[in-house]
Structure 1
């Protein structure tokens, strides 16, 4: 029997232990799932447990099972990085040997001068910062002056924060587009991100109108090959932005993890062929970077309670792939992503229950498997595990 539809769900930042080279990234000992579980006295993830999550690593509260419902593995990142763009590009078949440039001291004058000229005003900050901290620090000054807040992080990002009543959403997006045009070549950051917020000084809150402007992938991904062959590629959440629209045939954006699950269910109910590619970002943006293991655990448990709904919408020609793109250990020092393995869970009626896929060398094994399922051109990276999992 042929698989006709695949749903990839990326649990953004849900890593499962430090990679062998984690020390090179300053991340020795990081383990998002394991350390989150320890911090809260154990996770309650009965559905993911039945899939075999506890068979991949020892996670407090998540038991090993004798025969998992899903095939399982942990995957290493071959690319030189630990950010969203690098991880997602690798899932789709691109290995990034050169890391995206970061700006620990802020952006140089040659970048900022061009940006200020393009937007017709000066900006505030230009330094690495937590998004919630920087708007508390400079939000009031921003409201008085109308100057946007520009900041970065340990990731390769140029972020622009602005109050929605001071700089409108369309104007903020236009500023981001201008920054994206400037940040090419030598200063080609992975993403320019619009970070709108609302509220009053002392009570600011970021809104769901965030928008990411990624670099265009340097070569075709498996998404392009699917689209070129006439298959639907449906993006949920920030997937469309991560690939700069490349290889996407239809997209919906989301306000939260649960909204992402709802939008995924909509596609599962209405579209019977192709790839549904979902990113659930709250783990990372709301809880990982903010170093909040309690809320991170709650988000994991909330997703787990929705998993049966997703399973109910799958038919005998479907495959569900659950993966992450990097780590963001909420118990670790700093506020950065962490260089980790990610879990892989593959479920469907055609999957041999209990299949152990070992330690995969690259996230690109996903792309190779997708290419084989749909009979399209691969990217040349990764190895398909299709034969290992099908009955």
Structure 2
């Protein structure tokens, strides 16, 4: 069995690869993020580096238009589906690290209870407006001027377990927004069991130029039990989070981390980490696919972002050492051609690659997502919790 000195895992946030077995339960029958983006581009979606690793070889009813199978992939390919009760990023990432979320989180598709809204208003000293499900860009376009005029807080939600607070930093400074979100996080853990409270700062003086900034901050629940990150850390294996990984795990189980401003920044930070003397486990989340394009139902932007990622993937592959293992997967779907604006319950792609391996192997269908964490633990000789099965023996 091959062992690797470093493992780099990249989560292409929301890039699913077709409806999961339980998609009907989530009203997501027919969702296919990657397949529908390929169809939208009508053959012009080109992902040569990811394709070379085996993306197009993953079993699916129809090939991804423009990203078909190759005769001998350089990597190992398969797909995974989750068992967690929800389809949020927190559920997906926690499950990857051996902690499926089996109890449903609190969902408020019609808005949050008056008692919670009154507490937010009392603590902040500001009026709360909206309190409905909304697209993040649409809500500031429609209510941003009112916020500038009144200084109110824009509170909104989605089909996921999230409470989001949008604030124009011209009237609500970033430090104040963070302080309010920290308070909301503290009162929604037990009583409402909300998965994430998200600070959504933006700038601009009219709907024509309102723009969300990169100072978004996610306040998640703390993991309810040790994760594979904790197990690696306890065993002396370095753990490094890039992007919103630190937020998703509330910093627990991570030795170090860096926030990013974009997918491009996330990939640049990952390449820099690979080119450094860092050892152990490097864990990256690329959120733009989800936040910038999936929720906004923008297949053009999603496809362009995928192609930009693929270019940097080529740089990353070139930078890998012979004893590095690269894993690429996703945490859920967010089909930009599907109804609504929420995540979609889908299989996610799974790619494994190392320069020392011949490639060409089929990893099959893996479930739960915890197979990913089990494989990482197996590589470093660290015992897991029995959730998930390592596919390390298949990398030969």
Q: Same fold (TM over 0.5)?
A: yes
Question: 2:106, 2:161 within 8 Å by CA — same for their partners in 1?
Answer: yes
Query: After the TM superposition, which segments of 4 or more aligned residues of structure 1 sit over 4 Å from their partners?
Result: none
Structure 2 residue 219 is the aligned partner of structure 1 residue 213: yes
1:187 alignment partner, SS class: coil
Structure 2 residue 235 is the aligned partner of structure 1 residue 229: yes
Query: In structure 2, what is the Cα distance between the partners aligned to 1:335 and 1:312?
Result: 36
- Out of 265, 269, 282, which is 1:276 matched to? 282
TM-score (norm 1): 0.98
Structure 2 residue 73 is the aligned partner of structure 1 residue 36: no
Question: 2:142, 2:207 within 8 Å by CA — same for their partners in 1?
Answer: no
- Out of 133, 137, 162, which is 1:128 matched to? 133
1:285 alignment partner, SS class: helix
Structure 2 residue 143 is the aligned partner of structure 1 residue 138: yes
Q: Could you tell me which residue of structure 1 aligns to residue 50 of structure 2?
A: 48
Query: In structure 2, what is the Cα distance between the partners aligned to 1:202 and 1:349?
Result: 49
Query: In structure 1, what is the Cα distance between the partners aligned to 2:218 and 2:95?
Result: 18
Query: In structure 2, what is the Cα distance between the partners aligned to 1:4 and 1:119?
Result: 48
Query: In structure 2, what is the Cα distance between the partners aligned to 1:98 and 1:89?
Result: 13
Structure 2 residue 350 is the aligned partner of structure 1 residue 344: yes
Question: 1:94, 1:379 within 8 Å by CA — same for their partners in 2?
Answer: no
Structure 2 residue 185 is the aligned partner of structure 1 residue 180: yes
Structure 1: which 5+ residue stretches go unaligned? Answer: none
Question: 1:13, 1:327 within 8 Å by CA — same for their partners in 2?
Answer: yes
| Equivalent residues in 2 for 1:327-366, closer than 5 Å | 327-366=333-372
Q: Could you tell me which residue of structure 2 aligns to residue 102 of structure 1?
A: 107
Structure 2 residue 90 is the aligned partner of structure 1 residue 90: no
- Is 129-138 or 95-104 further displaced after alignment? 95-104
Q: Could you tell me which residue of structure 1 aligns to residue 253 of structure 2?
A: 247
Question: 1:223, 1:233 within 8 Å by CA — same for their partners in 2?
Answer: yes
Shift of 1:121: 2.2
Question: 1:19, 1:340 within 8 Å by CA — same for their partners in 2?
Answer: yes
Shift of 1:211: 0.5
- Is 320-329 or 90-99 further displaced after alignment? 90-99
- Judging changes above 3 Å, is the alpha-carbon distance between structure 1 residues 316 and 231 closer, same or farther for their aligned structure 2 residues? same
Shift of 1:186: 3.2
Shift of 1:20: 1.7
Q: Could you tell me which residue of structure 1 aligns to residue 70 of structure 2?
A: 65
Structure 2: which 5+ residue stretches go unaligned? Answer: none
Structure 2 residue 274 is the aligned partner of structure 1 residue 307: no
Question: 1:288, 1:335 within 8 Å by CA — same for their partners in 2?
Answer: yes
Query: In structure 2, what is the Cα distance between the partners aligned to 1:305 and 1:37?
Result: 17
Question: 2:140, 2:207 within 8 Å by CA — same for their partners in 1?
Answer: no
Structure 2 residue 166 is the aligned partner of structure 1 residue 166: no
Query: Number of residues paired by the alignment?
Result: 390
Query: In structure 2, what is the Cα distance between the partners aligned to 1:176 and 1:310?
Result: 36
Shift of 1:162: 0.4
Aligned CA RMSD, in angstroms, stands at 1.1
Query: In structure 2, what is the Cα distance between the partners aligned to 1:115 and 1:377?
Result: 43
Structure 2 residue 197 is the aligned partner of structure 1 residue 189: no
Question: 1:220, 1:379 within 8 Å by CA — same for their partners in 2?
Answer: no
Query: In structure 2, what is the Cα distance between the partners aligned to 1:130 and 1:299?
Result: 20
Q: Could you tell me which residue of structure 2 aligns to residue 13 of structure 1?
A: 14
**Residue deviations 1:309-350 (CA, integer Å, cap 9, x gap):** 111221121100000000000000010100000000000024
Structure 2 residue 394 is the aligned partner of structure 1 residue 388: yes
- Out of 114, 117, 132, which is 1:112 matched to? 117
**Residue deviations 1:256-280 (CA, integer Å, cap 9, x gap):** 1000011111111113411110000
